[in-house]
Chain A
Amino acid sequence: MAELRLDNVIKEFGEVRVIHGVDLKVQDGEFVVVVGPSGCGKSTLLRMVAGLEEVSGGEIHIDERMVNRVEPKDRDIAIVFQNYALYPHMSVRQNMAYGLKIRKFPKQEIEQRVNDAADLLQLGEYLDRRPNQLSGGQRQRVAMGRAIVREPSIFLFDEPLSNLDAKLRVQMRVEIRQLQRRLGTTSLYVTHDQVEAMTMADRLVVMNAGVAEQIGTPLEIYERPASIFVAGFIGSPSMNFVEGRIAADRQSVVIGQDFSIPLPQVTDAIQADQPVTVGLRPEDLHLTQESPDEASLPLTVDLVEVLGADTLLHGQVPHLDTLIIARLSGVPQVKNGEVVHLAFRPRRLHLFDRDSGKSLYYGQNAA
């Protein structure tokens, strides 16, 4: 068991800097997920921890040891690759035993550990098969098994579920998490799938363009995204963004022509007449009757998507040139082309600086 610490880690490929100084501390036994769009540097970060990429700047520590220049095999780390990287000519048993064999473990112990891992992963009856005789989920388990038998102090996962079909992905997601809890091994998990990230992580690192935009628990990141990027990336369908402006009295924000939303609380972060981007989660919108008492947005519905438990309304609001999506529970009777009125609780409002994209305000501050 170990603690992993990244201090201002930088990666450059030639002239191009792809990771701009990431700080991260993974506690002993913690499961941290790094999530971000493709090309954000999350895999590169993981590969640097594994030792498969050189670190251009900063330091990586495992417990108290600085491992920047330590060979991958000496870092006491195991990695599960996206395409599993099983040795195609070896049986499942040989695949799992290979690392131990090279490390010159006694035969009996190898046997013991492989059998234990196989039991844990329900691979017992497949031990003598070749990888190409296994299904995707089984291969995934073998890749896990290969990591487990080494009993490393840190597990690394590089998008391990992205080659599986949707149903299996959900199942393996749960299995991986349960396994990690049982073994208590510190883990760093990279994915581009925000559902995976939200459901599995103890803590989440949202990366964008080589920068860790926000680090926090899944709920923190969902409720208090630190930037437009994080707000848009986490949550499905993603947050609606509309341009707005703070009123002169700093008591409300105006969107569109004259639609005013009162702010529950005034903070010093916002200034009068400041241009802002207003963020509204689709699930925070609900249908309402038009009334003078309550602020509501008229939505011309373009498309109704019925998901069963939920319904998504896509449409336009007059004077706002962005598409708005609302997620309503149940199946409301709404037709294409109809105009409905949407209301929301001001406490669920997010405000972002229009230039920097940084979060200025979330309604829940007021709580």
Chain B
Amino acid sequence: MVENNRWVKFSSHLILLLGIAAVVFPIYIMVIATTHTGPALQRPPFPLLPGDQFFENMKLVLGEGLSTAGAPPVALMMFNSMVMALGITIGKIAISLLSAYAIVYFRFPFRMFFFWLIFITLMLPVEVRILPTYGVASSLNLLNSYVGLTLPLIASATATFLFRQFFLTIPDELLEAARMDGASPMRFFWDVVLPLSRTNIAALFVILFIYGWNQYLWPLLVTTDERYYTIVMGIQRMLNVSDTVPVWNAIMTTAMLGMIPPVIVVLLMQRLFVKGLVETEK
């Protein structure tokens, strides 16, 4: 029962506004910080109105980078992050689609055994198995490479499981109709299963892209060469400077740039994303 009372309306809006403020304020601070010089940010009070240093800051982080902090130009880090995030996302989706398809539609020995094997890895996120994974990556000579950044994170139990559950909801008659129509297994996958999974793929794309973009621990371990630094670890390195003050204007500008790609992905995919999470199109 919802009461249509002025006070209820007022207080619920107040709570909502406070919640929004709590989320938005730090972002506002960050945006403001990108428009001031470093010293201006060090000196209290912290400015709450935009300054005029935006383009200078941009030029600094995009082009030159902070050599004092051992961080390459942001453009390169953005590129690295993009390669890693897209590599992980596309890799994960491709692998899980295929493995889920195999598990659902083919009868082969130890089918359930493999399913449970994949399922069990849900309990082992990257952080738990990070040292052995590092060991494997290093003996395969994958350190300091894009392959090393993406490949070990690609196997995904979550996505496999999700696609399996979705495939199970596709009526058997569709498969049978396709068999009568003469479609080969891969043809059925390509012509029927894949188009039907469209919304699920979009939803996973968003989730996995953000997951990949925000990877921190793994890139930190696997890269020592500046050329392969990602933006998330770059920000951290800028903060961890010894014997000098952190260059806040550059850090904040980098952070803001680092936020943009996930936002773009969410905006572009939000319609499909919501659809994929809410309904299964039949």
Contact = CB atoms under 8 A, between A and B. Distances in A.
B192 A102 contact: no
B56 interface: no
Contacts of A146: 177, 181
Contact of B171 (A52, A77, A83): A83
A34 interface: no
B132 interface: no
B179 interface: yes
A88 B260 CA distance: 36
B187 interface: yes
Interface in B173-207: 173-174, 176-183, 187, 191-192, 195-196, 198
Interface in A71-91: 71-73, 77-79, 81-89
A67 interface: no
B174 to A, nearest CB: 5
A52 B176 contact: yes
B281 interface: yes
Contacts of A132: 282
Nearest to A77: B180
Nearest to A75: B180
A85 B171 CA distance: 8
A103 interface: yes
Interface string A47-67: 000111000000000000000
A72 B196 contact: no
A72 B175 CA distance: 12
A72 B179 contact: yes
B195 A81 contact: no
Contacts, number: 61
A79 B180 contact: yes
Nearest to A73: B182
A contact patch SS: loop
Given A85-B171, A85-B174, A99 B181 contact: yes
B180 A87 contact: no
A81 B179 contact: no
Nearest to A83: B173
Interface residues of B, number: 19
Given A52-B176, A81-B173, A102-B187, A89 B181 contact: no
Contacts of A89: 192, 195-196, 198, 281
A222 interface: no
Given A98-B191, A102-B187, A85 B176 contact: yes
Nearest to B183: A102
Given A88-B281, A89-B195, A102 B181 contact: yes
Contact of A78 (B171, B178, B180): B180
Interface centre among A52, A84, A132, A146 (most CB of B within 10 A): A52
A132 B280 CA distance: 13
Contact of B173 (A85, A102, A103): A85
A72 B180 contact: yes
A99 B192 CA distance: 13
A144 B191 CA distance: 21
Contacts of B282: 88, 132
Contacts of A103: 182
A59 to B, nearest CB: 21
Interface string A98-115: 110011000000000000
A51 B198 CA distance: 30
B270 to A, nearest CB: 21
B124 to A, nearest CB: 36
A50 B281 contact: no
B130 to A, nearest CB: 41
Contacts of A98: 178, 181, 183, 191
Contacts of A102: 181-183, 187
Interface of B: 171, 173-174, 176-183, 187, 191-192, 195-196, 198, 281-282
Given A71-B179, A87-B177, 10 more contacts: A82-B173, A85-B177, A87-B174, A88-B196, A98-B178, A98-B181, A102-B181, A102-B182, A102-B187, A146-B181
27 contacts: A50-B180, A52-B180, A72-B176, A72-B180, A73-B182, A73-B183, A81-B176, A82-B173, A83-B171, A83-B173, A84-B173, A85-B171, A85-B174, A85-B176, A87-B177, A87-B178, A87-B191, A87-B192, A88-B281, A88-B282, A89-B192, A98-B183, A99-B180, A99-B181, A102-B182, A102-B187, A132-B282
Q: Which 6 pairs of residues, A with B, have the shortest CB-CB distance?
A: A85-B173, A73-B182, A99-B181, A85-B177, A89-B195, A102-B182
